[in-house]
Chain A
Amino acid sequence: MATVEARHISKHFDEVRAVDGIDLLAREGEFLVLLGPSGCGKTTLMRLIAGLEQPTAGDIVIDGRVVTDLPPRARNVAMVFQSYALYPHLTVAKNISFPLRAVGMQRDAIRKKVEWAARMFGIERFLDRKPRQLSGGERQRVALARAVVREPVVFLLDEPLSNLDAKLRNSARDELKQFQRVLATTTIYVTHDQAEAMGLGDRIAVLNQGKVIQIGTPQEIYGKPMDTFVATFIGSPPMNLVEEGASYVGFRPEAFLPREVGSSEDSVAFPFRVTRVEYLGADRLVYGVLEGRTAEAHVISKLPNNIRAEVVAGERYDFVVRKREIHRFDRNSGRHIDGRGDDDGNR
């Protein structure tokens, strides 16, 4: 258990600033998710923490100790790779015991530890098999067991669920969260999947172009996006943004409802011409244009199935949004302007 801190860390590959002066603190025992589009620098940041990359500037601090100049093996971190990176020529038992043999642990102690880790992930049956004889889900468990076995101070997980099929991914996500709770080891988890990030993270750091844009709990990230990037990156479909003078007006599709269901004293009305309705089972997505505006304002409404109001393509309706669900962003900087989405000092 330890804190992990990035102090103004940068990594440039020639001209590309993969990581551009990031300050970040993962608290003790915290599950911190690094979320961002591909190429945002999240994996590079994780590799910097692991010691697999040397920073161009800045420091990595683990448990209060500056480890920037230490090789990966001296940092006592464990990493699970997207490809799992199991050693293909070694049995599952040898794969799991590799980190222990590397530190020269006694054979008896190794055996006990391997059994403990294998039992934890339910892979005792596979100990004598080679990785190629395992399914994707089993390989992922072996990779986790290998990471857990030497009880590192930090777990680094690089999209460990992205090679699993959708059904397995849900149960694996659930298990992962439980293991982390039990072990209470500080965990940094990289993903581009917002559902994973929202479901797993104690806090989420949203990255874009090598910078941390916002860091906060899933509720804060979703409810108070700091700028238009976070607003449109999180949420599916993303937040609607409509030009209005020197600012953007933003509202979530699920907050944009027909007048008869959404109306209250503090709601704002928008005349809405529907162009297309998509039926998705649990909800309907209503695509359309806001009328009476200079620029074409395409917006989406997400209506859960319990809202039965009739919405037909080609018709014009009055839709409303509650005032407290409306966000305003500066048109130039993209930053939130009415104070509520401001930095809460949790960066």
Chain B
Amino acid sequence: MIRRALASLLQIVAISAIAFFLFSVAPGDFYSAERLSPQLHGRSIEQWRAARGLDRPWPVRYARWIESCARGDFGTSLAYGIPVTRLVAPRVVRSAVILFPAWIFGWIVAVCTAAWAARRRDRMLEPAMTILNMSPEVIVVSVLLWIGVALRIPLERAWLPSMGLILAIAPLVFIHAFRAVSEAQSANFVRIAASRGIASRRLWIRFILPAAANPLISLIGPSLAAAIGSSLVIEAMSGWPGLGPLFLEAVQSRDYDVVQAVVVMLGAVLTFTNLAADLILYRLDPRIHLNTDGAH
């Protein structure tokens, strides 16, 4: 277990290194745009770069970055000139108040609908959800915007990004939940239990749902990743002042400390979500062994 947690930590470090590397091999840096400015002298730009350490090779910069992170200093935004923590923290809170409730609510809605549809053996919802799952956030949010304008709902509220996120998550979860429940329903042991005249409620609680929960727990991590990805786009589109607009802007202007901090933070959130999902699966499914010596 401890080994698993350490592996997660290592994974986060690896994510940060890869992000750092990819960002530094891409051509240009924060000052590339300034170079075009006629008022600025080339020499002074070079001085700025040197002062920031941007002229060094990336492994050196990465080592420095790691070292400052260990001190609790995640760097300073080049664009805003304030520490990354102070810049990112309020944005994270604003994103989280949208992201997590929408994510959880999307799951609840999706699982309930899926169980209901599977119970009625209703095959109509699945293709509809597949289409919704495939449609890009841009279209979904545009439609929501249009509805919002038509209904005269104030657009600066949180409802637009929340609805957009729920619509991004729920179809994904629905498709998996529907298949899981349908499959569990036709499992041999469920059919046999049903043939023994067990009450429908007991059948669902004791037989169908545990079997269906199994594949869904593995979806917790990927669904959060999808939610985060969607939220960046949806926030930027709906003008919600969360992490999304800041991140996109930072990527464009190559404000590398900000990008790095956001990437590592999201990486950490996802890694620990996956770890938690594995633990839940381990607790729920008696067939899983953590030790590699347990065969299978």
A and B interact physically? no
Contact surface of A with B, Cβ cutoff 8 Å? none
Contact surface of B with A, Cβ cutoff 8 Å? none
